A and B are shown apart, each in its own frame.
Chain A
Amino acid sequence: MRVLVLGEERSRIKLIDEETVRHVAWLARLEVLDDEVEGFVEQFNRILDYFRKLDEAETEDVEPTFHVLNLVNVFREDEPFPPISPQEALKNAPKSERGFFKAPKMV
C-alpha cells in the first residue's frame, strides 16, 4: 500500500488509483465490480483530501493521541471462568461437523 506522504507537491497528486482500490477490496475480501471502481477512487481521494485538511492544523507541541479513553492498566486475574457449551458456541455457525466449525477449503 502507498504511504501518505505530505508536502506541497504531493498534496495535489491523487494518491489513490484504480489498482489501490482493487487491492484494498481484496484485503477486505469485498467484491468490487468494474464499473464501481472509478467511483471508489473518487471517494477514497476525497477522504484523503479531508485528512490533508487536518494536517494543516498546528500540532507541533501536541502529544499524539493513540487511544480515546483516559484509562491505563485494566487487568483481570488469571482465574478461570466456565466456558460456554460447544452447542452454544456452534449455534451461529452456518456449518459445523463433529463439534468443529466448518470453513471453506483454504489452500
Chain B
Amino acid sequence: MSEKVVIGLEVHCQLTSLKTKLFCSCPSNYRGREPNTLVCPTCLGLPGSLPVLNQKALEYGLMVALALNCKIPKRTMFFRKNYFYPDMAKNFQISMFDRAGGAPLGYDGYVTLAVGGTQKLVRIRRVHLEEDPGRLVYPGTIDTAPYTLVDYNRHGVALVEVVTEPDFESPKEARAFLQKLRSILEHLGVFDGGLEGAMRCDANISIAGGARVEVKNIGSFKDVERALTFEIMRQKQLLAKKVAVVRETRHWDGERRITVSLRTKEEEYDYRYFPEPDLVPVEITEEMLDQIKARLPELPDARQKRFVSQYGLPGYDAMVLTSDKALADFFEKAVAAYGKPKVVSNWLMSDVLRCLNEYNLEIWESKLTPEHLVEMLKLIDEGVISGKIAKNILWDMVSSGKSPKQIVEERGLTRIADEEYLRKLVDEVFKENPKAVEDALSDEKAIHFLVGQLMKKTRGRADPQLANKIIREKLASK
C-alpha cells in the first residue's frame, strides 16, 4: 500500500449562468428539452454559418482563470481540434491550444487545499474555453446498440476546462479539489454545480513503477473518489502480480463502478490543431482585466478568513462551511436571524451534515431552511423542546420541510414541565427499579440511571433539571 500514487485532473465545467452558447445565440439551458430544438446553422456546422464569440463567456472564463491565480496572456485565439465523432456536428471542436501562436486563457495558477491539517498547493496548468459536444443516445446499451442517436442541443454550450498538474496523492485529495473548484465557480456566480452533468472530469493516474492511465467520463465529484479508488486498486493488483500497467485510456462505468479499457487507437490523439479561421484573435487588455478584477466577488478562501474574524469560528469550521457555497449562505442567513454563530455552526457541522450525509442530499437539495433551523434553536432556548428532541425532529425537517413547531405539535414532543405529572412517573420508575433506588442512596451513577429511565418513559420530553430535582428529593426523603 505504500507505492506513491500520482493523480492529475482535467475538469470540464459548463458556464451554466450564460444564457446562450459559446459561439451562437442558441439558448444554452438544454436540460429537459426535446432533442434538436436548441440548434441553429452555426452549432449544426452548416456551410456558410459563422461562429461569433460570446463576450460574457470570455469574461467568465477570465474570472475563473483569475480566481485560480493564473497568469493571463495578452493575446489568445481559438483553434480547431479535429476528430471524427458524431457528437461534434462540424467534425472538429473549437477549443484553445497552447502552441502555434495560441495560449490558454490562464496558465501557471494554483489553488490551496486543506489536506490533513496542512495547506497544500495544487498547481493549475491551464484554464481554457471550448465547446461542449452533443449528446449521444444508444438505443439499448452502448455495446449492443445497432446505431447512435444524436441530440445537438448541448453542442456548443460553453465549457471552461481546468487542467491541474499531477499534484494529488489520493482520491480524497482529488475529490476535495473538485469540491473547492465547485465552490470557487459558484462564488463567482458562473456555475451551478447542482445541475446534472455540469461538472465532468478525466483523471490521469499512475503508481510508482507503472504507466500513466487516463480515466475518462467521470460524471460528478462524488464519482471521482470511487473511480480513482477503483483504478488505483486495479493498478496495485497488477503491480503486485508483476504484470505491467500499460499506458491506455479507460472509461469509468458509473453504473458498474469499474473502469474499462477503451482500446482506442493511438492515432485518435492526432488532433491536427490549427487556428480557427472563422474567429478573430482575442486581445486581453489591462483595462479589460482591471474591470473584471474589480467585479470579482468574495471567494471561498477570503470568506473562510472572514468567518473566523467576523464570527469567531474555529478555522476548521470556517473551512468546512465555505467549501460549499450553499452551506456558507445557509450559515450566514441563520446567523443573521439568530446570532450565536458558534451555536449555528455546531448544529450545521454535526447534526445537519450527518443527517444530509445519511439522506445523501446536499443542503440545497434538502428541505431544510435557515428559517426553520432558527425556529428550532429558539424552541430549545425557550425550553419548549430539549436538545435531544431537536436532534430528533431535525431529520423530519430535512426530509419533509415541515416547520419545527408543526412537527413538535403533531408528534406531541413539547417538554414536560408539569411537576405533579413527573412526580407520578418518578414513583413508577422507583417501583420498577428498587435495586437502583437502593444503590442511588450511595452511588451517583445510579441516580443518572434513574433519570435515564424517566427520560425513556417520556421519550426524552421530561424537563431534565426538574426530573433531577424530583428524583433527588424523593431519594432524600427515603
Which residue among A1, A26, A69, A107 has the maximum number of chain B CB atoms within 10 Å of its CB? A107
Interchain CB contact under 8 A, A75 and B58: yes
Closest residue to B144 on the A side, CB-wise? A105
CA distance A29 to B55 in the complex (A): 35
Q: Is the CB of B36 within 8 A of A86?
A: yes
Those of B3-27 within 8 Å (CB) of chain A:
18-20, 25-27
Q: Interface 1/0s, chain B 141-180, versus A by CB < 8 A?
A: 0110111111110000000000000000000000000000
| A-B pairs under 8 A by CB, number | 133
Once the chains bind, are B150 and A74 in contact (CB under 8 Å)? no
The answer to whether A103 touches B19, judged by C-beta atoms less than 8 angstroms apart, is no
Task: Say if the beta carbon of A106 comes within 8 Å of chain B.
Answer: yes
Residues of A close to B52: CB separation below 8 A: 74-76
User: A102 near B: Cβ within 8 Å?
Assistant: yes
Which residues of chain B from 22 to 79 have a CB within 8 Å of any chain A CB?
25-27, 34-41, 44, 46, 52-58, 75, 77
Does A31 lie at the interface of the complex (its beta carbon under 8 Å from any beta carbon of B)?
A: no
Q: What residues on B are CB-neighbors of A98 within 8 Å?
A: 35, 149
Nearest-CB residue, chain A, relative to B275: A66
A8 within 8 A of B: no
Q: Which residues of B contact A78 (CB under 8 A)?
A: 18-20, 54-57
Known contacts A81-B40, A99-B34; A106 and B85 CB within 8 A of each other: yes
Which residues of chain B come closer than 8 Å to A100, judged between CB atoms?
Answer: 35-36, 137, 149-151
B281 interface contact, C-beta 8 A: yes
* B272 neighbours in A (Cβ, 8 Å): 1, 27
Task: Give which listed residue, A64, A75, A101, A102, contacts B55 with CB less than 8 A.
Answer: A75
For the side of the interface on B, what is the size category?
A: 35 or more
Q: Is the CB of B54 within 8 A of A75?
A: yes
Size bracket of the A interface: 35 or more
Looking at A27, A29, A86, A89, which has the most chain B CB atoms within 10 Å of its CB?
A: A89
B364 contacts A by Cβ under 8 Å:
no
Q: Beta-carbon contacts of A80-104 to B below 8 Å, as 1s and 0s?
A: 1101111001101000011111111
Distance of A97 Cα from B151 Cα, bound (Å): 11
Residues in chain B near residue A66, CB distance under 8 A: 77, 100-102, 275, 281
B208 adjacent to chain A (CB < 8 Å): no
Q: How far is the CB of A47 from chain B (nearest CB, A)?
A: 15
Let me know if A61 is at the binding interface, CB within 8 A: no
Quote the shortest CB–CB distance from A62 to chain B (angstroms). 13
- A79 interface residue (CB < 8 Å to B): yes
Q: Does B444 contact A (CB under 8 A)?
A: no
CA distance A97 to B282 in the complex (A): 40
Question: Within 8 Å of chain A (Cβ to Cβ): is B270?
Answer: yes
Whether the Cβ atoms of A81 and B148 lie closer than 8 Å is no
Judge whether A5 is part of the interface by a CB distance below 8 angstroms: no
Q: Looking at the complex, which one of A23, A74, A101 makes contact with B36 (CB distance below 8 Å)?
A: A101
Are A102 and B270 in contact, with the CB atoms below 8 A?
no
Report B-chain residues with C-beta under 8 Å of the C-beta of A64.
101
* Alpha-carbon distance A78/B38, docked complex (angstroms): 15
Task: Report whether B282 and A105 are in contact in the complex, using a CB–CB cutoff of 8 Å.
Answer: no
Does B267 sit within 8 A of A, measured CB to CB?
yes
B36 near A89 (CB under 8 angstroms)?
yes
Complex Cα distance A107/B151, Å? 18
A83 touches B40 (CB 8 A): yes
The answer to whether B86 has its CB under 8 Å from any CB of chain A is yes
Q: Which of B75, B82, B142, B149 contacts A103 (CB 8 A)?
A: B149
Tell me the bound Cα distance from A14 to B165 in angstroms. Answer: 39
Tell me, yes or no, whether B277 is within 8 Å of chain A by CB: yes
User: A84 to chain B: which residues have CB within 8 Å?
Assistant: 39-41
- Complex-state Cα separation, A71 to B75, whole angstroms: 12
Q: Are A76 and B55 in contact (CB under 8 A)?
A: yes
Q: Is B84's CB within 8 Å of the partner chain A?
A: yes
Q: Cβ of A79: which chain B residues have Cβ within 8 Å of it?
A: 19-20, 25
**In the bound complex, what is the Cα–Cα distance between A74 and B86 (angstroms)?**
29
A6 at the interface (CB under 8 A from B): no
Fill in one digit per residue for A18-43: 1 if any B CB lies within 8 Å of its CB, else 0: 00000100110100000000000000
Q: Is B283 an interface residue (CB 8 A)?
A: yes
A73 to B313, CA, bound (A): 46
Interface residue ranges of A49-79 to B (CB < 8 Å): 64, 66-69, 71-79
B115 beta carbon closer than 8 Å to chain A = no
Contact across chains for B277 and A67 when beta carbons are under 8 A apart: yes
In the complex, whether B121 has a CB less than 8 A from a CB of chain A is no
Question: B34, A86: Cβ atoms under 8 Å?
Answer: yes
Residues in A lying within 8 Å of B, measured CB to CB:
1, 23, 26-27, 29, 64, 66-69, 71-81, 83-86, 89-90, 92, 97-107
Q: Pick 19 A–B contacts, CB within 8 A, sort by A.
A: A27-B270, A66-B77, A67-B281, A72-B75, A73-B283, A75-B52, A75-B53, A75-B58, A76-B54, A78-B54, A80-B19, A80-B20, A81-B20, A83-B38, A86-B35, A86-B39, A99-B37, A102-B148, A106-B85
Q: Which chain B residues have a beta carbon within 8 Å of chain A's beta carbons?
A: 18-20, 25-27, 34-41, 44, 46, 52-58, 75, 77, 82, 84-86, 100-102, 136-137, 142-143, 145-152, 267, 270, 272, 275, 277, 279-283
* A-B residue pairs, 5 tightest by C-beta: A81-B25, A66-B101, A100-B149, A75-B55, A78-B56
